[in-house]
Amino acid sequence: MVQLNKIGRYKTRIIKQDRWITVMYFNIPIVKFSDKMIALNNGGQITQSTKNRMNQISNYYELGYQVHINHKIMNVKLLSNGNRFNFHNNIVILPKT
C-alpha cells in the first residue's frame, strides 16, 4: 500500500534552489513549485507510480492538489474548490492560499 504522508525514495531526488523545490522522479522533474506556482510534469508517462509520487509530494508539502487516473487520462483536482483539469505536461496551477 502506498503511504501518502511521506515521499517515497525510490528513484526520487529533491532539489532546493532559491525559492524553488523540484522533485525529480526517474530524472523527470514531476513537480516544481514555489510560493507563487506549481508545475506538474509526468514526462509522458501515465502510470500509477507517477501519480502516487505526485500525490505524496502534494500531501507532504501541503500543495492542495490530487492527481487522478481514469481510463488512461490524468486529471488534477484542486482540493480548495474541487475544480478538475485535464492533465498536460507542465500544467501550472496556483498553490493554495
Note down the domain range covering 71.
12-93
pLDDT band at 89 (very low <50, low <70, confident <90, very high): confident
In a domain, 79, yes or no: yes
User: Nearest 5°: phi and psi at 92?
Assistant: -115, 130
Give pLDDT, residue 5.
Answer: 78
Q: Are 28 and 54 in contact (CB under 8 A)?
A: no
Kindly report, residue by residue over 19-59, the tens digit of the pLDDT.
Answer: 999 999 999 999 999 999 999 999 988 899 999 999 999 99
Tell me the pTM.
0.90
Residue 3 binned pLDDT confidence (cut-offs 50, 70, 90) = confident
Q: Is 23 domain-assigned?
A: yes
Is 45 a member of any domain?
yes
| Domain membership flag for residue 40 | yes
Q: Does any domain span residue 1?
A: no
Assess if residue 49 is contained within a domain. yes
- Residue 85 class from Cβ within 10 Å (0-12 exposed, 13-18 middle, 19+ buried)? middle
d(CA 30, CA 51): 10
> How many independent structural domains does the chain possess?
1
For the cut 60, the answer to whether the pLDDT of residue 97 exceeds it is no
